[in-house]
Structure 1
């Protein structure tokens, strides 16, 4: 399927409302975003440059033209002018993340390249490009820094502890916005859902018979049948330290946005 270039894409109309509310509040603090980019962001960037150059594999036009070409095309579709650095770190599971201040780097696990079809990898790359376009990066770097040992003290509750949990809750919500960008990159809701199914733990032997409807039903079941008082408490304590929402929840949120008609309006407008 030929994908359209989204030349009129405005991240402000993609971003999840709860994500947008937090971003706007933080952006209103004079100089805060710029300060984070220049300090924490650039520190993470320098760390990533050393770590993944010394103990990873850089994807470049020369080392892997196919995957680098995908990243370039996904950036072109979503309107990110500066292509991030791209590295691969060993791990036979499907994951991705992005770091950086003035210059971003996307990191993929080896499994992401081996286990995903090219169009599924577009969804994953689009997700990370989405974090960059939505303005998440400085605040993501802040959250990740707050959860380093330097800021972890189990002996007492501090002001930093009161900041960390709300920021981590926002960090999880920001994935809803990035998933929308991933969908806009691959431009196929079934591809996006298939990627999430693989990320959720589907055995490789089952890849040729993925049942998207069953996974969607699993999300409905999760909401409907696990909603009593005890289940709600378990859900809270299970997710409280996670850095992203559960995949059945993410897929349900993305499907709701797709069915709302917003996706179609953006793609048809171009």
Structure 2
């Protein structure tokens, strides 16, 4: 770590989850049979398939293999008070990271090589912490369904249109809302809002050669310009049309949300031991429950 972090022992997801995530998750739970379908049918098959994929085509990170990445994982998990999942690195030209987690089974996180090459170590830790946020918030069942569909599209391109049409708008809305909570987890782990916002800027328009020239303050000003579009009905309608088929909120919006939350009383209280107030049900030793 570049500087000492506050360890958030006993941290509960309810203390940092974005309100939109809570609302969207509640709505998604009302869809009959989704939990049962993923857990009992897709879960076991998907877990075995992707485990074999990682073992066969990726590199498992450990103290002996890519130890610097392993240390970033261990540190982030310690700060967020979660058990560190397995971490794999896979060769891929598209910068990305994803998580697979089902209740009672070993969770794992995958990082693409192009993502690691794009980011600094601190920014890579922010991405890892973002994925840990999915585990902390127990997004597993719905995230697994989304990842299975997304990865199937990537591996069988001809299914792309069919899958995109069949993926319910409610699932996409949930995915976008869940990302806000995980960005907050990234901020809690790094405790540096500029690190998290820099990741989002690089994902929007960075490359290993362009990244040193990027200006974060200019990117935040760009985010404010995006907000200004909502001042009229047409602009708001166009924004809705632009984002309704996306699995993630647009990067400028995510950066703006982190910028705001980093200045909030909620964030300050979580980092200040004298201000943190956990319920009697909080397990002070930490631990976690994955899907």
What is the TM-score when the length of structure 2 is the normalising length? 0.80
Distance of 1:176 and 1:166 partners within structure 2 = 16
Q: Give, in whole Å, the separation in 1 of the partners of 2:263 and 2:56.
A: 44
State the alpha-carbon separation in 1 of the partners of residues 248 and 230 from structure 2. Answer: 20
Q: CA deviation at 1:96?
A: 0.9
Equivalent residue, structure 1, for 2:168: 164
1:136 positional shift: 0.6
Partner of 2:124: 121
Aligned-partner Cα distance in 1 for 2:209–2:36? 47
Match of 1:15 in 2: 17
Q: Distance in 2 between matches of 1:74 and 1:41?
A: 26
1:49 partner SS: helix
Q: Secondary structure at the match of 1:107?
A: strand
Q: 1:66 aligns with which of 61, 65, 68?
A: 68
Query: Which runs of 5 or more residues in structure 1 are unaligned?
Result: none
Distance 2:44 2:82 in 1: 19
Match of 1:137 among 127, 136, 140: 140
Q: CA deviation at 1:76?
A: 1.1
Distance 1:71-1:201 versus aligned 2 partners, 3 A rule: same
Deviation at 1:262, TM superposition (A): 1.5
From the superposition, tell whether residues 31 and 9 of structure 1 become closer, same or farther in structure 2 (CA, over 3 Å). farther
The match for 1:96 is 97
1:188-211 deviation line (CA, Å, top 9, x unaligned) = 011111111111112433433442
Cα offset, 1:234, TM superposition: 3.2
CA contact (8 A) 1:99 1:137 kept: yes
Partner Cα separation in structure 2 for residue 131 and residue 105 of structure 1: 11
Looking at structure 2, the residues matched to 216 and 125 of structure 1 have their Cα atoms a distance apart, in angstroms, of 23
Distance in 1 of aligned mates of 2:112 and 2:35? 29
Are 1:253 and 2:257 matched, yes or no? yes
Give the direction of change, closer, same or farther, for the CA distance of 1:28–1:66 in structure 2 (3 Å limit). same
The structure 1 residue matched to 2:268, chosen from 258, 261, 264, is 264
Greater shift in the superposed pair: 105-114 or 26-35: 26-35
- SS of residue in 2 equivalent to 1:199: helix
* Residue aligned with 2:14, SS: helix
Three-state SS of the structure 1 residue aligned to 2:186 is helix
Q: For structure 1, which segment, 56-65 or 178-187, has the greater mean C-alpha deviation from structure 2 after superposition?
A: 56-65
**Hey, what does 1:55 align to over in structure 2?**
57
State the alpha-carbon separation in 2 of the partners of residues 30 and 84 from structure 1: 30
- Matches of 2:208 and 2:265 in 1, distance apart? 33
